[in-house]
Amino acid sequence: MGARGETDQGPTDAQLAVLQALWTGVVNDWDDEDRHTRFLDHAREIGALPEAARRYGALRDDPERGELARKRLQAIALLATNELYATRTSRPSRRTPGWLVAVAVAVCVALLGWAALAFGVASR
């Protein structure tokens, strides 16, 4: 199950049936703001914002419903953006552990000491 109750495979058939019923209500009573809100809330809850966008997108050029459909598409884009920000993770830390730095410094000092001794003995 995901964070909002949807399964990892996406919305279930029952959830999609509810979405379809809500959409039918939206289409039958287009000017009812509450129906649009319930439809979008359910789509967001089940992870079906792309499906909601597809349905509103099909009506964006409609002479009677186009203006409200475009407004709802903007709302869907905002909801989707908010979902992305809500699930954003911080960058993984790339800091090198202190013990590794100490080992690297010790190895470098040892190699420099060995090189100094080797060249010092060879030059005599």
State pLDDT tens for residues 5-26. 444 578 899 999 999 999 999 9
If you compute the radius of gyration of the chain from its CA atoms, what whole number of angstroms results? 30
Selection from 83, 95, 71, 85 nearest residue 44 by Cα: 83
CA dihedral over 50, 51, 56, 61, signed as positive or negative: positive
pLDDT given for residue 49 in this prediction: 95
Side chain identity at residue 89, one-letter code: T
pLDDT given for residue 1 in this prediction: 42
Q: What is the pLDDT of residues 44-98, one digit of tens each?
A: 999 999 999 999 999 999 999 999 999 999 999 999 999 888 887 877 778 888 9
Helix (H, G, I), strand (E, B) or coil at 10: strand
- Cβ atoms within 10 Å of 123's Cβ, excluding its own: 6
pLDDT given for residue 21 in this prediction: 97
pLDDT given for residue 52 in this prediction: 96
pLDDT given for residue 85 in this prediction: 86
Side chain identity at residue 64, one-letter code: E
pLDDT given for residue 121 in this prediction: 67
